Amino acid sequence: MNRCFSMLLAIMTVIKPCSITIRVILSGYRIAENTAGVKNAGALIGILERLILLMLLLVGQYGAIGFVLTAKSVARYNKIAEDPKFGEYYLLGTLLSSMLVIAVYMLILN
């Protein structure tokens, strides 16, 4: 029962508190966005990314975490290569998101 509660707490933490933390920290680094992307898709992608990373940590698949982060970067490669400011913002968000998942895993599930 205690393990189930810990897992539920970790999942809820990487969904909402981590999203808010990332939004607040990155608010000072906003870049002008002139994309025609889907509204709020980035936030959902971030949540899914954090949940996937948490699951991979739980099952000890540390190498697969690199694969997830690489796949995410490949999907945005052109934008990153063309716009250095976006590349820095993207890297900040990715590293912050990953760091928060690792912290949640270490503090709640270990």
Residue 39 is predicted with a pLDDT of 83
Torsion of Cα atoms, 61 then 64 then 68 then 69, to 10°: 100
Residue 1 is predicted with a pLDDT of 73
Per-residue pLDDT reduced to its tens digit, 56-82: 999 999 999 999 999 989 988 999 999
* Alpha-carbon distances of 19 from 11, 22, 65, 72, rounded to whole Å: 12, 5, 19, 17
CB 5 within 8 A of CB 109: no
Distance CA 65, CA 74 (A): 14
Give the mean model confidence (pLDDT) for residues 77-104.
Answer: 94
Per-residue pLDDT reduced to its tens digit, 28-53: 987 766 666 788 888 899 999 999 99
